[in-house]
Amino acid sequence: MISLLASRPVMVLTPSRMVAVNAGSLAKLKVCKPAFKTRSFADQVCDKGNSTVIHFRESRTPHPLKVKPFEQGAEEEEKFDFHGRTQNHIWSEEEVQERLDNLWQHKPVTITDKIMHGLMWTMYRVFNKITGYTPVNTPVKSVEWRLIVLESVAGVPGFMAAMVRHFRSLRRLQRDHGWIHTLLEEAENERMHLMVCLSTFKAGAVTRFMVLAAQVCLTPFLLAVYIVHPKAVHRFVGYLEETACVTYANIIKQVQTPGTPLNAAWATMPAPAMAKTYWKLSPDAKWVDALKCMFADESNHRDVNHTFATMKTDDPNPFAAKLSKDAALAWRMDSMGGKANLGCAATLGSKESPL
């Protein structure tokens, strides 16, 4: 049996070809450790240059999806925030001004309304004390960390409510009637507000601590209340958005008022690239234009949540069609190269906007 094996040829694979050797010659072959265990893919090149095995991520050949490390510049990483997201509303100057002229606030009627209204406005006044916020000559630093904390908190309720409704739909084997997508759009919109703010100014240690403390305290409370009484949470969020509208309207007014600290710091500050992409602002849009868009978004969330607070949990969502219209408008603007008509006068006549 042994002599039979010794006489039969054995196929051996070499880097360049497959050859046949007998068992006696095979014993004389030098056994080496696999190269890939000690060398990277890029280094897997034979001494004589016969092999050119390189992993596709380490090659310099461009990838159509730009997934290779050398293609991941800062601009490409920023674009990932816009892939697959729900489409936000693109605001016109007329829409923003109309909302600035009408800071509507809901008057509490039921006991639940009064409790949530009192709780929210108490938190608002305490927040003003902590951040040093005043409606006149507000320090720039106070506004910076106030906006970061505000947007990090405002992004919690929508996602939490969508999660509860999602699990409820699965648990009860029932439809959601279109609420989840509107709630997720709200949460994502608030998160994008936060990302835009962080691209303009940085969060310090105190700000980060306040963000963490707010999430730890607020999330379990809102979750517990939403499971028991969803309308109360939507009313609470409506009042939260009212305070956000008051804050943004005041900031915008101060930025546009000569002689104020905010005017000196932000009047000529350009809008960050992320804001221009998200709200389709003109190339020379200012930071105050981004603030106007954030204000308009908050006013929309105010109206949506106050409406949800008056509805039953199985009522059809009256805002479901709005998401489709927003997506259609954004697509039309992209295809036409249009921009929102927010910005300086020099920009307004540069391109026709389909708004």
pLDDT, tens digit, 9 for 90 and up, residues 158-172? 999 999 999 999 999
- Of the pLDDT bands very low, low, confident and very high (cuts 50, 70, 90), residue 271 is very high
Torsion, CA 287, CA 292, CA 296, CA 297, rounded to 10: 10
Own/partner pairs for 264-273, CB < 8 Å, 24+ apart? 265/140, 266/140, 269/200, 272/196, 272/199, 272/200, 273/75, 273/78, 273/199
Three-state secondary structure call for residue 19: strand
Structure tokens at 82: 């816009």
With a cut of 60, say whether residue 261 has pLDDT above it.
Answer: yes
Whole-model pTM: value is 0.75
With a cut of 60, say whether residue 31 has pLDDT above it.
Answer: no
pLDDT attached to residue 300: 95
- Of the pLDDT bands very low, low, confident and very high (cuts 50, 70, 90), residue 330 is confident
Rounded to whole angstroms, the Cα distance separating 216 from 232 reads 20
Strand 18-22 versus strand 9-13 pairing type: antiparallel
Give me the sign of the Cα torsion angle 39, 42, 43, 48. Answer: positive
pLDDT attached to residue 320: 86
pLDDT attached to residue 348: 35
* pLDDT tens digits, 113-171: 999 999 999 999 998 888 888 888 999 999 998 999 999 999 999 999 999 999 999 99
Rounded to whole angstroms, the Cα distance separating 35 from 265 reads 59
Report which residue type is found at 234.
H
The residue behind tokens 């609470």 is: 236
Cβ atoms of residues 125 and 117 within 8 Å: no
Q: Which residues contact 1 (CB under 8 A, 6 or more apart)?
A: none
The domains of the chain, with CATH numbers, are 2-58 (no CATH), 93-332 (1.20.1260.140)
Cβ atoms of residues 59 and 296 within 8 Å: no
Structure tokens at 182: 């509107």
pLDDT attached to residue 117: 95
Biggest alpha carbon–alpha carbon distance for the chain:
102
Rounded (10°) angle between helices 230-255 and 111-131 = 40
CB atoms within 10 A of CB 120: 18
β-pair partners for 19: 12
- The alpha carbon of residue 253 and the mean position of all alpha carbons in its chain are separated, in whole angstroms, by 27
Within the chain, residue ranges assigned H as helices are: 2-7, 23-28, 74-79, 93-100, 111-131, 140-172, 179-198, 205-228, 230-255, 261-266, 273-278, 287-308, 320-336, 345-348
> What mean pLDDT comes out for the span 18-27?
51
